[in-house]
Amino acid sequence: MRLKLYVAVGITAAVAAYLLGATPAWSLAIGAVAPILIAAAPHFLRGTVAGLTTPGDDNSEMSGLEFEYYVARIARSCGVPVIMTSVTGDWGVDLIVGRRPERLAIQCKRQSRPVGAGAVQEVVAGAPMQDCTTTMVVTNHEFTPAARKLAELHGCELVGRDELPRLRSTIRRLTEPLSRPEPS
């Protein structure tokens, strides 16, 4: 039954194209492609809708700990080791990413308001305690001007809501081993 429907769609599309002025070759091509497009449309639409509603990508509904797991999952996808610190005594560092000597300290802040300079202070102060050389604060929101100024002063990378889609590439950039000249 379905095959007959696709054949009918193909013939109808070919005849319509010919009647609208397409050459016979183009009419046949349109007649061959039309059933494929009709068959693929439901799968394409289903995939599009599923992509828009994939669980885990909507960080606005996560708890603070779930947000840390979300960031850790992205960091692990970069192929670098990730250590999640304990909830207490972490010196303001939630995740330790990468290998020594260039490890990245990440502070995750899932908040309903802009993140202030305190988060930057915590991760910058805690990084040496966790043997990290670079720092980052990741949030589902934005940063205050004071946080941005302090981060710039200390070289701390800030990843806000708008930069989250590029988090993976940012982590890769910060955890790549520095290229060192060959000893002669």
Q: What is the pLDDT of residues 62-112, one digit of tens each?
A: 888 889 999 999 999 988 999 998 766 667 899 999 988 889 999 999 888
Q: Say if pTM beats, i.e. exceeds, 0.75.
A: no
Alpha helix (H) residue ranges in the chain: 2-19, 24-52, 64-76, 117-129, 145-154, 167-175
Q: Note the pLDDT of residue 147.
A: 95
Exposure of 154 by Cβ count < 10 A (0-12 exposed, 13-18 middle, 19+ buried)? middle
59 pLDDT higher than 90: no
The predicted-structure confidence for 4-15, as pLDDT tens digits, reads as follows 888 888 899 889
d(CA 133, CA 102): 6
27-33, Cβ contacts within 8 angstroms, sequence gap of 24 or more: none
User: What was the pLDDT predicted at 120?
Assistant: 95
Residue type, 150: L
- Taking the CA atoms of residue 135, residue 140, residue 144 and residue 148 in that order, the dihedral angle to the nearest 10 degrees is 30
> 104-109 and 95-97: which strand pairing?
antiparallel
What are the tens digits of pLDDT across the range 168-182? 999 989 888 754 445
Q: Which residues have a Cβ under 8 Å from the Cβ of 149 and sit 6 or more positions away?
A: 117
Q: Is 173 exposed, middle or buried (0-12, 13-18, 19+ CB in 10 A)?
A: exposed
Q: Is the pLDDT of residue 40 over 50?
A: yes
Model confidence pLDDT, tens digit, residues 148-171: 999 999 999 999 989 989 999 999
pLDDT at 118: 93
Tell me the average pLDDT of the chain. Answer: 84
User: What's the pLDDT at 64?
Assistant: 82
pLDDT at 148: 95
Angle separating helix axes 2-19 and 24-52, nearest 10 degrees: 120
